[in-house]
Amino acid sequence: MSPISTRRHGDVLIVLSNNPPVNALGHAVREGLVAAIEQAEADDAVKAVVILCQGSTFFAGADITEFGKPMQLPMLPQVVDRIEACTKPVVAAIHGTAFGGGLEVALASHYRVAVPSAKLGVPEVKLGLLPGAGGTQRLPRAAGVRKALEMATSGSPISAKEAYACGLVDRLIEGDLEQHAVAYAEEVRDVRPIPITSARDDKLEEARANPALFDDFRKEQARKFRGFDAPEANVKAIEAAIAKPYAEGVQDERRLFMELMSGTQAKAQQYFFFAERKASKIEGLPEGTQPRAINKVGVIGAGTMGGGISMNFLSAGIPVTIVEQQQDALDRGTGIIRKNYQATAAKGRMTEAQVDQAMALLTPSLSLDDLADCDLIIEAVFENMDVKKEVFGKLDAIAKPGAILASNTSYLNVDEIAAATSRPQDVLGLHFFSPANIMKLLEVVRGAKTAPDVLVTAMQLAKRIRKVAVVAGVCFGFIGNRMLIPRQTEANKLLLEGATPEQIDRVHVEFGMPMGPFQMADLAGIDIGWHRDPTRVETIRDALCAIDRWGQKKGAGFYDYDDKRRPSPSPKVQEIIDDFRSQAGITPRDIDDQEIVERTLYSMVNEAAKILDEGMAQRASDIDVVWIYGYGWPVYRGGPMFWADTEGLDTIVEGLQRQQERMGDDFTLSPLLARKAEAGEKFTR
């Protein structure tokens, strides 16, 4: 049965799509839409058309699962052209998300009405693409060039209200969408000429008078676009919309679309779209496992981590009791939470009333006893096993039966922590990433005894607080931090052998990371995990810590920092490195960038393969989700596993073997990686 049906309401033909879950514009939908328009043309009694979708949303875009397969006609550009060419007015009635191809259907329609909660956007750039069904040509004509540039290059949607304000939507509908859309169609059914977006020029005039606008926009956005192909292609296509007649602009759009589509970046970004959605699925749980209710959360520790964690729940409307040992630390912690909210409000992303609402949900306390009625308690205290065990022992006596007890540990053994309680089935790790109110990643650490419903609860809760959760097994550092270890080990050794922090960091930044290992160490604080004995200097890091070079917070670490936290190479650090070299009898050699890639990035892939082999990650794509959302691995490279596949696993193995001698005992080749390379297999496809 076609997902597209039609029904008449007076002289309006309602074209209804029913293609759950998101009304993606797959082949049957495209075919049905064209047939429905033909039907409207053929029937004299039909004077206007309304395109409407059932379910939670208007068309959310092309069907991404069809990408890479042979395309079946009619293609979307043909469909939208057919809609625009209809001789009877077509009204798109929008609710939910009119995204990508969905917005292109709406743009080709002659009128657009929307409910106020609707969102309109062209997220193609996030899939490494551009709107390829006339969107780059029609959007600037309907919404203005600046708006089109912003929407197309960010991929972020705008609200229906904003869309109304910029002319993208003709009317906001309060009340029943179908009824009002039909009434609107009746209002406009005799208006001639029918407004055709592709024939409009009025909103292009300003940009035509100021073509420098495009280069200005490129400069303004250069940092965000760095490394990505798709944003520039989007800009170029919109530039064509003002520089060329519509028919030629569309050809440019098609060419640029096809170029992007055949590239690795689009494949990586589309892979990642599905990887993110797969991550929430847990293998092997009993069917129908129901989550526990979480209506109140306790957080132990009001430091940076505890405060950030609390904000996630407060923002989602879930009450939090936050516990500290000392009044001043508690006051400081709650003060920072308020300040963070106020900073968000100052940027216009929250109202003062919402700040007050969130803060009203927060109960500061000096006593763990106040956590007795919490459904979930998250410990975010000092990273030390004895301290954690003591806290969990106490919680065991205080928490109500069935409460979930979580540790925010970033390395420690969750099973050992769970064993400090009489209810290990209720214990798991919830590893938030700093800043915890902002970073999207949540590692859900599954202990040997963690109950299925506890896991299901954690995954659902993650959605509620807008995190992307990935399940990890119990091992040192779980998925993300465990992979950092070989990278840092090799980076440190490379320093001794002749590389500089600047060179190693540059290689990572050029690869697309937000920063390299030493920049990251300076940001996080070099003193984290340091033994705190300034007389014990065994490593370069010990030497830096001993002289108070703890990173950005001290204005000095691997780099020197000015008062605006801008880094510069440090002669002092070079002196320390030179000292270590001479003590170890190392003559520095020239190290090329490729060696840095092989010893740091390839060795991360090797560790990831071990993680996968040991079952510490459920699937290769979960590892990619961790590194993209937790550490800023460039999404256009798809994550470490996808990237390894594009490099070729045999190339990775060869590179590692080339470096094996230099990496010494710190390195063993993952048997899984070796096997897959040998068999010509991939991790991700």
Q: Is 367 a residue that touches ligand 3H9 (CB under 6 A)?
A: no
Residue 596 to residue 495: CA distance in whole angstroms: 10
Residue 281 to residue 605: CA distance in whole angstroms: 23
Amino acid identity of residue 25, one-letter, is L
Closest to ligand 3H9 by CB, 62 or 233: 62
Closest to ligand 3H9 by CB, 466 or 531: 466
Residue 360 to residue 527: CA distance in whole angstroms: 35
Residue 644 to residue 8: CA distance in whole angstroms: 55
Cis peptide before 452 (omega within 30 of 0): no
Residue 159 to residue 116: CA distance in whole angstroms: 7
Cis peptide before 21 (omega within 30 of 0): yes
Rounded to a whole number of angstroms, the minimum distance from the CB of residue 537 to ligand 3H9 is 51
Q: Which of residues 212-231 bind ligand 3H9 (CB under 6 A)?
A: none
Half-sphere exposure of 239 toward its Cβ, with a 13 Å CA cutoff?
A: 16
Contact 435, 429 (CB under 8 A): no
Rounded to a whole number of angstroms, the minimum distance from the CB of residue 260 to ligand 3H9 is 10
Q: Who contacts 520 (Cβ-Cβ below 8 Å, separation ≥6)?
A: none
Residue 357 to residue 426: CA distance in whole angstroms: 30
Residue 612 to residue 185: CA distance in whole angstroms: 56
Closest to ligand 3H9 by CB, 65 or 668: 65
Half-sphere exposure of 249 toward its Cβ, with a 13 Å CA cutoff?
A: 26
Cis peptide before 319 (omega within 30 of 0): no
Residue matched to tokens 């949900």: 361
Residue of the chain from 60, 361, 368, 609 that contacts ligand 3H9 (CB under 6 A)? 60
Closest to ligand 3H9 by CB, 100 or 655: 100
Rounded to a whole number of angstroms, the minimum distance from the CB of residue 490 to ligand 3H9 is 37
The vertex-420 CA angle with 416 and 422, nearest 5°, equals 120
Residue matched to tokens 């209804």: 16
Rounded to a whole number of angstroms, the minimum distance from the CB of residue 406 to ligand 3H9 is 24
Instruction: From 137, 169, 141, select the one nearest 234 (Cα to Cα).
Output: 137
Q: Is 140 a residue that touches ligand 3H9 (CB under 6 A)?
A: no
Q: Is 557 a residue that touches ligand 3H9 (CB under 6 A)?
A: no
Contact 146, 213 (CB under 8 A): yes
Using the Cα atoms of residue 232, residue 234, residue 240 and residue 241 in order, give the sign of their dihedral: negative
Residue of the chain from 13, 53, 62, 92 that contacts ligand 3H9 (CB under 6 A)? 62
Residue 556 DSSP class: B
Closest to ligand 3H9 by CB, 131 or 333: 131
Q: Which stretch binds ligand 3H9 (CB under 6 A): 122-130, 334-342, 382-390, 586-594?
A: 122-130
Q: Is 3 a residue that touches ligand 3H9 (CB under 6 A)?
A: no
Residue of the chain from 33, 47, 63, 626 that contacts ligand 3H9 (CB under 6 A)? 63
First-to-last alpha carbon distance for the chain, in angstroms, is 32
Rounded to a whole number of angstroms, the minimum distance from the CB of residue 237 to ligand 3H9 is 11
Closest to ligand 3H9 by CB, 4 or 377: 4
H or E segment to which residue 432 belongs: strand 427-432
Q: Is 301 a residue that touches ligand 3H9 (CB under 6 A)?
A: no
For 455, the token pair is 């896991």
Contact 472, 479 (CB under 8 A): yes
Specify whether 416 is catalytic: no
Q: Which stretch binds ligand 3H9 (CB under 6 A): 92-100, 221-229, 232-240, 643-651?
A: 92-100
Half-sphere exposure of 60 toward its Cβ, with a 13 Å CA cutoff?
A: 15
H or E segment to which residue 181 belongs: helix 177-188
Alpha carbon dihedral 583, 586, 588, 594, in 10-degree steps, equals -120
Q: Is 470 a residue that touches ligand 3H9 (CB under 6 A)?
A: no
Q: Which stretch binds ligand 3H9 (CB under 6 A): 123-131, 496-504, 579-587, 646-654?
A: 123-131
Q: Is 128 a residue that touches ligand 3H9 (CB under 6 A)?
A: no
Closest to ligand 3H9 by CB, 224 or 277: 277
Closest to ligand 3H9 by CB, 129 or 305: 129
Mark 270-299 with x for binding to ligand 3H9 (rule: CB under 6 A) and - for no binding: -------x----------------------
Contact 371, 395 (CB under 8 A): yes
Q: Is 249 a residue that touches ligand 3H9 (CB under 6 A)?
A: no
Q: Which of residues 8-37 bind ligand 3H9 (CB under 6 A)?
A: 21-22, 24
The footprint of ligand 3H9 on this chain (CB under 6 A) covers a number of residues equal to 25
Annotated catalytic residue: which of 31, 38, 66, 124?
124
Q: Who contacts 272 (Cβ-Cβ below 8 Å, separation ≥6)?
A: 624, 625, 628, 635, 638, 639, 642
Q: Is 630 a residue that touches ligand 3H9 (CB under 6 A)?
A: no
H or E segment to which residue 172 belongs: strand 171-172
Residue of the chain from 6, 17, 97, 570 that contacts ligand 3H9 (CB under 6 A)? 97
Residue of the chain from 13, 14, 15, 64 that contacts ligand 3H9 (CB under 6 A)? 64
Residue of the chain from 32, 135, 140, 447 that contacts ligand 3H9 (CB under 6 A)? 135
Residue 448 to residue 451: CA distance in whole angstroms: 9
Q: Which stretch binds ligand 3H9 (CB under 6 A): 129-137, 197-205, 340-348, 436-444?
A: 129-137
Rounded to a whole number of angstroms, the minimum distance from the CB of residue 63 to ligand 3H9 is 4
Rounded to a whole number of angstroms, the minimum distance from the CB of residue 122 to ligand 3H9 is 7
The number of helices, as runs of H, and strands, as runs of E, in the chain is 29, 19
Closest to ligand 3H9 by CB, 268 or 322: 268
Residue of the chain from 99, 214, 225, 642 that contacts ligand 3H9 (CB under 6 A)? 99
Annotated catalytic residue: which of 104, 253, 324, 379?
104
Residue of the chain from 37, 133, 139, 608 that contacts ligand 3H9 (CB under 6 A)? 133
Closest to ligand 3H9 by CB, 106 or 374: 106
Closest to ligand 3H9 by CB, 139 or 520: 139
- Tell me the chain's radius of gyration from C-alpha atoms: 28
Q: Is 124 a residue that touches ligand 3H9 (CB under 6 A)?
A: yes
Q: Is 465 a residue that touches ligand 3H9 (CB under 6 A)?
A: no
Specify whether 104 is catalytic: yes
Amino acid identity of residue 316, one-letter, is A
Q: Where do contacts with ligand 3H9 occur on this chain (CB under 6 A)?
A: 21-22, 24, 57, 60-65, 76, 97, 99-101, 104, 123-124, 127, 129, 131-133, 135, 277
Catalytic residue set: 104, 124
